[in-house]
Structure 1
Amino acid sequence: MTADEPAADQQAALRADPFGPLRTRGYLMLLLLTALFGVVLSAGAYGFLQAVAHLQKALFSSLPHALGFHGVPVWWPLPLLAVGGLLTALIVRYLPGNGGHQPAEGLKTGGAAPAAELPGILLAAVASLAFGAVVGPEAPLIALGGGLALYGFRLLRPGAGAREQALVAAAGSFAAISALLGSPLVGAFLLMEASGLGGPLLGIVLVPGLLAAGIGALVFTGLGTWAGVGVGTLTIPDLPHAGRPDVAQFGYALVIGIAAALLGTGVRRLALRLQPGVNRRRTVWTPVAGLVVAGLAIAYAEGSGKGTSDVLFSGQSALPHLLLSTGTYSAGALTLLLACKSLAYSVSLSAFRGGPIFPALFLGAAGGILLSHLPGLPFVPAAAMGMGAMSVALLRLPLTSVMLATLLLGHDGVTVMPLVIVAVVVCHVASARLNPPLPGTAEPAAAPAPA
C-alpha cells in the first residue's frame, strides 16, 4: 500500500486480498508509529483529565474557602458558569476551528482537525468542563488525539499518502480515549460505529487503533499508580447482585426504551433549537447559558437538599455515588434531578464544547432508579436499561450503548445484558422515528479522512 498507488488500484487490491496490507513492511512501520503515538497521546489525555479534575476542585471547593467563605455558597456556580461561558464564547469566536464540533449535533469523528485548530479545541474544552458545563471530555479527546497524531505523522513522514494519514489519525483518537470509557474495546467500538467504518478496510484500520488503545490503557494504569490517584474505571463495585431477568422486566425494558427516546428527543431538539441563536451572538448567549445551567443546579440543590454537583459537570464522577446511594434519593428528588439535569444538558450542548456520553449515562441511571420505585423492577437492571437507552438516544450508537451500560455493572453486566439490548433497540428505533437526521449525518462516511 504505497502513497502513489492509484486509489482505484488500492480498492481492487483490497477486494482481492483484504489482508494483503498486513504483510507489508510499510504496515509494520505504521504499527510501530501508532504504538509510539499511543504512549504519548494517552499520557497527554491522562494529564488533560487530571488537570480538568483539579481545576474543578479548585474552582468549586478550594476557591470559596480561599476567599473567606466558611462553606461553598449556594450561589457559587452562577459566577463560575458565567465566566466559563464567556471564556468559551471568546475562544470559539476568535480562535480557529470553532472550538471543535458543536455537541448538540452528536458525536462526530470524521476527519482529523488541522493543527491550527487544536489550541482552540483544547481551551474551549477546558473552559467548558472545568467551569461546570454539562458535557463530557470524550469529544475533545477524540479530536485532539486524532489531530495531534496526524500532525506528528506528517512531520515524521511528510510524503505519506492519504490512507496512511487517515489510519494514524484514527489510531490517535483510539489512544486518547483508551481508558476514559473503562476499556480499550469500548473506545474501539465507539469510534468504529461513529465513523461508519466497514468492509475490508475495517480490519486494516482496527489493528493500529487497537494497538494504540491497548498501549494507551497501560499508560493510564501506570500513570494512575505512579501519581497515587488510582486508575479510572467505569465499573462500579459493591452494587447489589442482579438476579436473572423475568418477563416483567422485559416489559419494563419496552417502557424504558420509549421513555428514553422521548426524553432524549427533547434534550436534543431543545439544544438544536437554541444553538442558532447562540451562534449568532455567542459572547452574549454563552454566558447566559452558563447562568441558566447554574440556576438549574441551584434550584435542584434547594429543592432536594442535595449538592449542585448532581446537575453540574458531566456526571462521570457523580454516577457511582448516585448508584451506590439510591436509598437517599426520594422519588421527588429524582424527578427534580431528571428535569434540571436534562435542561442543563440541553443548554450546555447548545453553547459549550464537550461530548454527550457521560451526561446521557447519568440521566439514564437517574431515570432507571426513579422507575425502579415501580413494583417488580430492581434498581440495578432499571439503571442499566436507562443508561443504555439514554446513551443510544443521544449517541445513535447501539452497540457502544449496550457495552457502556453493561460494563458499569461488572460481573452482573452479562446477566442484565438481554434487558439492556431490548431497551437500546426499542429506544434506537423510536428515536429514529421521532428525530430528523442531524446536519451532515444523513450518510455516514466510509472511513475517517485526514484534514
Structure 2
Amino acid sequence: MAQETTQEPPSAPTAPARALLPFILPAVVVGVAASLVFVGVSTAAERLQRLLWGPLPDALGVGRWSAPWLFIMLPVTGIAVGLVVWKVPGHAGPDPATLSLHAPVLPPAVLPGLVLATALMLAGGPSLGPENPIIAANVGLTAWLGARLMPRTPDTLWPVLAESATIGALFGTPVAAALVISEAMAGRPMRGRLWDNVFAPLTAGACGAMTTTLVAHPTFDLGLPPMGHPRAGDLLAALVIAPVAAALGMCAVYAFPHVHAAFRRLRHPMLMLPAGGVVLAGLGVLGGPLTLFKGLSEIGELARDPQDWSAGGLTTMAVVKLAALLVAASCGFRGGRIFPAVFVGSAVGLAAHALVPAVHPSLGVATGVLGMLLAITRQGWVSLFTAAVLVASPAVLALLCIASLPAWLLVTGRPQMQLREDGTPVR
C-alpha cells in the first residue's frame, strides 16, 4: 500500500534586498516632507488660535471663553471656511463626510484650498482634528510630484508612502502607520511576504515620526498613574467600559446621515458652515471650553487631576464633545475624527473612575478610548494602539485586547461614520 505524503503549500517568496533598496530614498523623502507639511499646518493653526482666543478678545473687552465670543468666533470660522469651499479652486476637496482615513488622490489644484480650510478650522474651534485633510493633502502632493520626478515608479506606491508618513507624523511613531497599512492590506491580494510589502511604508512612517519628534516634540502620554498587576475587578471594568463607550459612539454614527442631510438641505457652504458654527457655539457654551478644538491638549487638562471632575460633569463633556464632532463632521468642516473621539473616550473613562473609584483612571481612559475609536473609525489596530499609548502602562495591554472583543461585536457589520455620495452610510 503506497504511503500517502502531504505537502505544505509553498510560502510566499521573500524579496531580495536589491528589490527593496530602491524604495528607501523615496520613502525617506516622502516621510520628511509629509511631516513638515503636518507640522507647518499645525504650527500656523496654533499661532492663529492663540491670537483669536487670546489677545483679540482681550483687546475687545470680551471674555475669551464667554458665550458672546463663542457665538462670534464659531460662526465666523464657518463663514471663513465657507468662503474657501465656495470660492477657492477645487472647493477644498469632496464632501468630508464621504472620506475615510484612506484618502483618494486629489488633483493638485484642490490642495491649497483644503489646507487653508483645515488651518482655519483648527484655529477657530470646531471639534475636528487634522488627520484626514492632512493625509489627503500629502497623498495628492506626493502622487503628483512622484509621477513627474520618478515616472517609472508604480503609481500605487506614492499614496501608500504618503499615508504612512503622515500617520507616523501624526502619532509620533511608525507603529501606527504599520498597523494601518497592514490592516488595509488584509483585504487585498498581496505579492510576497507581508514585511516586504510594508518595508517602504514603514520607512516613510519612521522618517515622518522622527521628523515630527525632532521638530515638534509631541507626546501622547497623559501622565496618569500606571496600573499594577491586573485584578478580576479590572477585567470586569474593561468589559463594561469599552462596550459602553462603543455604544455611545454608535449613537453618533446612526445620527450622522440624518444630521448631514439636515445641513445639506441648506444647499450652500455659506449657509451650511455658518449654521454649523452657530450650533457648535451653543454646544461650547453648554460643555465649556474643553469641548472646543481638536481635543488633544484638552485631554491633558482632563487627565491632569481626575479628582477635580465629577462623574456628571465628565459625562456632560463627553456627550457635548460627541455632539460637536457630529455637527462639525456633518456641516462641511474639513477635519478628522480621531482626536475628538479620543477626548470623548477619555471623558467616558474618567467618568467611570469618578463614579466607581475602584476603576483605575488609566484603565478607564484606555478602555473608553478603545470603545469610542472602534465605533467612530472601525480601525481596530489604531484603536488598540492609541488607547495603549495614552496611558503608557504595559499592564493594560491584555485587558485592552480582551475588552476589544465585545466592543467589536457591538460595532462590526453596522453603519460606519462615512457616507456614500447619495448620503447612505457605508457598512
Q: Name the TM-score class by shorter chain.
A: 0.7 to 0.9
> What is the CA–CA distance in structure 2 between the aligned matches of 1:177 and 1:51, rounded to whole Å?
19
**Native 8 Å contact 2:311 2:351 kept in 1:** yes
Q: Match of 1:160, as an amino acid?
A: R
Does 2:33 correspond to 1:40?
yes
- In structure 2, what is the equivalent of residue 276 of structure 1? 261
Greater shift after overlay, 170-179 or 147-156? 170-179
Per-residue deviation, 1:439:
4.0
- Cα deviation, 1:359-390, whole Å, max 9, x if unaligned, reads 11110110011112225312221111001111
Aligned length: 408
> What is the CA–CA distance in structure 2 between the aligned matches of 1:367 and 1:409, rounded to whole Å?
15
- In structure 1, what is the equivalent of residue 287 of structure 2? 300
Distance 1:51 1:195, change over 3 A: farther
Which of 18, 21, 40 aligns to 1:23? It is 18
- In structure 2, what is the equivalent of residue 208 of structure 1? 200
**Native 8 Å contact 1:170 1:205 kept in 2:** no
> What is the CA–CA distance in structure 1 between the aligned matches of 2:184 and 2:85, rounded to whole Å?
24
**Native 8 Å contact 1:105 1:272 kept in 2:** no
- In structure 2, what is the equivalent of residue 399 of structure 1? 381
Distance 1:172 1:265, change over 3 A: same
* Long gaps (5+) in structure 1: 1-14, 225-230, 302-307, 444-451
> What is the CA–CA distance in structure 2 between the aligned matches of 1:148 and 1:128, rounded to whole Å?
21
Does 2:179 correspond to 1:189?
yes
Distance 1:342 1:221, change over 3 A: closer
> What is the CA–CA distance in structure 2 between the aligned matches of 1:379 and 1:286, rounded to whole Å?
37
> What is the CA–CA distance in structure 1 between the aligned matches of 2:411 and 2:362, rounded to whole Å?
24
What RMSD over aligned residues (CA atoms) do the two structures have, in Å? 2.5
- In structure 1, what is the equivalent of residue 293 of structure 2? 313
Q: Match of 1:361, as an amino acid?
A: V
- In structure 1, what is the equivalent of residue 240 of structure 2? 255
Q: Match of 1:432, as an amino acid?
A: T
Which of 360, 363, 377 aligns to 2:359? It is 377
Per-residue deviation, 1:185:
1.0
Which of 160, 164, 183 aligns to 1:170? It is 160
Which of 243, 253, 264 aligns to 2:249? It is 264
> What is the CA–CA distance in structure 2 between the aligned matches of 1:387 and 1:130, rounded to whole Å?
24
Does 2:236 correspond to 1:241?
no
- In structure 1, what is the equivalent of residue 213 of structure 2? 221
Percent identity between matched residues is 30
> What is the CA–CA distance in structure 2 between the aligned matches of 1:399 and 1:323, rounded to whole Å?
24
Q: Match of 2:278, as an amino acid?
A: L
> What is the CA–CA distance in structure 2 between the aligned matches of 1:45 and 1:125, rounded to whole Å?
11
Per-residue deviation, 1:436:
6.4
Which of 322, 328, 331 aligns to 1:348? It is 328
Q: Match of 1:268, as an amino acid?
A: V
Question: SS in structure 2 opposite 1:408?
Answer: helix
- In structure 2, what is the equivalent of residue 160 of structure 1? 152
Distance 1:320 1:72, change over 3 A: closer
Distance 1:337 1:124, change over 3 A: same
- Cα deviation, 1:281-329, whole Å, max 9, x if unaligned, reads 332121111111111111223xxxxxx1x11111111111211221111
Greater shift after overlay, 332-341 or 106-115? 106-115
- Cα deviation, 1:134-159, whole Å, max 9, x if unaligned, reads 011111121111111111112212x3
Greater shift after overlay, 65-74 or 121-130? 65-74
**Native 8 Å contact 2:287 2:317 kept in 1:** yes
Question: SS in structure 1 opposite 2:412?
Answer: helix
Greater shift after overlay, 106-115 or 290-299? 106-115
- Cα deviation, 1:5-57, whole Å, max 9, x if unaligned, reads xxxxxxxxxx9964347533xx5333212212222221222111111111111
Question: SS in structure 2 opposite 1:317?
Answer: helix
Matches within 5 A, 1:67-82: 67-69=60-62, 72-82=65-75
Distance 1:277 1:264, change over 3 A: same
- Cα deviation, 1:42-79, whole Å, max 9, x if unaligned, reads 12221111111111111111211233447553421221
Q: Match of 1:136, as an amino acid?
A: G
> What is the CA–CA distance in structure 2 between the aligned matches of 1:109 and 1:97, rounded to whole Å?
19
> What is the CA–CA distance in structure 2 between the aligned matches of 1:295 and 1:418, rounded to whole Å?
40
Q: Match of 1:200, as an amino acid?
A: R
Which of 121, 126, 132 aligns to 1:133? It is 126
* Long gaps (5+) in structure 2: 1-9
Question: SS in structure 2 opposite 1:313?
Answer: coil
- In structure 1, what is the equivalent of residue 6 of structure 2? none
Question: SS in structure 1 opposite 2:48?
Answer: helix
Matches within 5 A, 1:113-128: 113-128=106-121
Distance 1:194 1:286, change over 3 A: farther
> What is the CA–CA distance in structure 1 between the aligned matches of 2:329 and 2:176, rounded to whole Å?
23
**Native 8 Å contact 2:62 2:68 kept in 1:** no
Q: Match of 1:232, as an amino acid?
A: P
- In structure 1, what is the equivalent of residue 4 of structure 2? none
- Cα deviation, 1:237-257, whole Å, max 9, x if unaligned, reads 3x2121222222222223223
Relative to the length of structure 1, the TM-score reads: 0.83
- In structure 1, what is the equivalent of residue 169 of structure 2? 179
Distance 1:17 1:366, change over 3 A: closer
Which of 42, 45, 51 aligns to 1:58? It is 51
Relative to the length of structure 2, the TM-score reads: 0.87
Question: SS in structure 1 opposite 2:292?
Answer: coil
